[in-house]
Amino acid sequence: MPIASLDRLLQHASDNKYAVGAFVSMNIEIIQAAIAAAERKNSPVVIRIHPDSRQITSFETLTSVAKQLAANASVPVGLSLDHGNTLADTVDAIRAGCTSVMLDAGEEPLEDNIRLVKQVVEVAKPLGILVEAAIGHMEHGAVQTDDDLASVEEAVRLVRESGATILAPAIGNVHGSAHGETKAKSNLAIDRIRELREATGVPICMHGGSGTPRDQMRAATKAGVALVILFSDIITAYNRELKRVLDENSIGIAIIDALVPAQHAAQGVIEEKMDDLGSAGQAGTFNEWLRASAG
């Protein structure tokens, strides 16, 4: 299948009260693991590209792999940019084929956040690209206080004045341990999620999905979360298996002998996440809905 529009994926997820998993992929193995897991679970999936990946490769390299795998897949595969810091990040991602991009200015004053996101919307909207904006305070690894949670009033302003089409709010979620932090347990503010979804009218994207108990995840999807960003649990499984194989073998081991089990370990965790999100089994209904809406 061709790369699926995030607009259609999130509409279907919202209508059917599940969330699509967006798996942060900084290498080919995680992309392969995510799409293989989606095939196994008959689930929609989003490959989430992070700007940090450009330290070793280009957006185009990673998205080319995703596009090729998607073309041979029976499930819908989306492409999205995670935590773009600048307009240039988002433009590069759009050129590489992402159908949604994030401009992360959530820690900036609201007026600056609106201005920065609006710049991206002006570029992306004519191309049919969704733009994700962040709001509220999400320190890596830390538990959020009530003061950290996204304000409904400010979220409405952000969406209305910037034109953002996806909202990534602080909702009791916890950003992961990508920088070495010990990740606290999430405590999702389900009522706040519902208020934000109803007041803004746009899909809610939950960051820091790793470690979220299934009951909280299901409650969040029913309240309005349609996209969940996942990294820590997947990369931990990948790294643990990679380290195990490397530690048990000589320094001259063929790296493929370590990458294969690491990829399989990541795939197993991703499959579990698709069950948590309620997206398992939804690829077929999405494809039928897409054909019906096109006809």
Dihedral (Cα; 280, 42, 174, 80), 10-degree rounding:
-140
Q: How far apart are CA 208 and CA 170, in angstroms?
A: 10
Q: Are 35 and 71 in contact (CB under 8 A)?
A: no
Q: What is the signed CA dihedral for 129, 135, 140, 143, rounded to 10 degrees?
A: -140
82 is an active site residue: yes
DSSP code for 84: B
How far apart, in whole angstroms, are the C-alpha atoms of residue 68 and residue 97? 12
Q: Which of 82, 104, 233, 276 is catalytic?
A: 82
In the chain, the amino acid numbered 131 is: V
CA dist 169 and 138 (Å) reads 9
d(CA 230, CA 271): 12
Could you give the residue numbers annotated as active site? Answer: 82
